[in-house]
Chain A
Amino acid sequence: MDMRSLLRTLEHATLRDIALVCLADALVGASFGAISVSGGLPLWVPLAMSVLVFAGGSQFAAVGVVLSGGGALAAVATGLVLNARLLPFGFTVADVLQGPWWRRLIGAQLITDESAAFVLQQDDGRRRRAVFWTCGIALFVVWNVAVLLGALAGGMIGDTDALGLDAAFPAVLLALVLPSLTDRRTRTAALVGAVAAVAATPYLPAGLPVLLALVGLLFAGRPAGGAAGPEVADPAAEEPVSKEAVR
């Protein structure tokens, strides 16, 4: 894991792309820190989450549930359902983490949407390893520093509603999720789920309406490429998702 040989293995364009992703994530991280602390959470919460959870979407989601008055367990369940998508990413990058056990344990924490996407772009084994560790380590450092700076800045903000910061939280999430809504079935599922969640909000304890949105999965359809496959309907395939939801 010599950093210089990692960097030499990668093309200039790849390194530039990694830097751009780090920059974008730094802004998301700073917003996360600022919104958490200005919303009333103690400083250690966003910092501990960023080091230990290290998955931006779920961090925002869990804090969002809690700041809207939801219970801690609802926040955990929401974050876990979101992070269940890391499961397939782990299988995608498994070849990169072959080797001593400590490498797998450390590397696993660095699996993110971004590092998995960079690995997918490379075919050669050496490059896959290089891009994974470079992107993973860079993101981990940048993300945590950005969250710290954002959290310190967030502590200095007075009236958050007067600044419209309550709108910043859904705005960040919307910007994060839009690129994954290109598929029509995903859009339908998301729309059905959102309507269900909003409609249930007056009646359910805070935090649960968002989990109720998972009924939208009934409209998820089949994988785009797999429609022609001989795959039989497998109700068990849906199990892990719903199990996470009630944890």
Chain B
Amino acid sequence: MMPLYAVLLLAAGTYAFRLAGPLLGHRLALSERLRHLLAVAAAVLLVALVATGALTQGHGFAGWARPAGVLVAGVLALRRAPFPLVVVAGAATAALLRLCGVG
């Protein structure tokens, strides 16, 4: 579960990241390499969340319906389909497969 202290920790840390620039902007510059690493780190984490979220449940395999839904959503997103369509198609694919008895 998500206790209040966790929400506050995340909020405080995030605010510190935001405030550093406006407070120190004229005294400090970030290296190009650090900027690059921070941007890549964000992409790496998001893709890992997609992969684990799509494929796993607890410590095991999530079944075929969910990754199939995410795959459909990914193909639609690549083809620049509108965001609501991407999400609804992903969920509907998983739901339909389960209706047909696919786990």
Contact = CB atoms under 8 A, between A and B. Distances in A.
A1 interface: no
Nearest to B57: A68
Contact of B55 (A85, A165, A198): A198
Interface of B: 1-11, 13-15, 17-26, 28-60, 62, 65-66, 69-70, 73-74, 77-78, 83-84, 86-87, 90-96, 98-99
A237 B34 contact: yes
B84 A163 contact: no
Interface of A: 24, 27-28, 31, 41, 45, 48-49, 52-55, 57-58, 60-66, 68-69, 72-73, 75-76, 78-95, 97, 104-105, 107-109, 111, 161-178, 180-181, 185-186, 189-191, 193-198, 201-203, 206, 209-211, 213-214, 216-217, 220, 222-226, 229, 231, 234, 237-238, 240-241, 244, 247
Contact of A76 (B13, B65, B91, B98): B13
A167 B94 contact: yes
Given A173-B50, A181-B43, A231-B32, A168 B10 contact: no
Contact of A237 (B26, B33, B98): B33
A94 to B, nearest CB: 3
A217 B42 CA distance: 10
Contacts of B4: 48
A194 B50 contact: yes
A241 B37 contact: yes
20 contacts: A27-B83, A48-B4, A53-B11, A57-B46, A68-B52, A86-B14, A162-B95, A164-B92, A168-B91, A170-B70, A171-B73, A173-B53, A178-B74, A194-B47, A197-B51, A198-B52, A201-B52, A216-B44, A226-B32, A234-B31
A91 to B, nearest CB: 4
A196 B51 CA distance: 10
Contacts of B46: 57, 61, 82, 173, 176-177, 180, 190
The 10 A-B pairs with the shortest beta carbon distances in the complex, nearest first, are A90-B21, A94-B25, A167-B69, A213-B48, A164-B94, A171-B90, A164-B95, A171-B73, A52-B11, A164-B91
Given A80-B13, A109-B15, A171 B41 contact: no
Given A87-B20, A225-B32, A186 B77 contact: no
A172 B88 CA distance: 10
Given A62-B10, A202-B59, A210 B92 contact: no
Contacts of A186: 39-40, 43-44
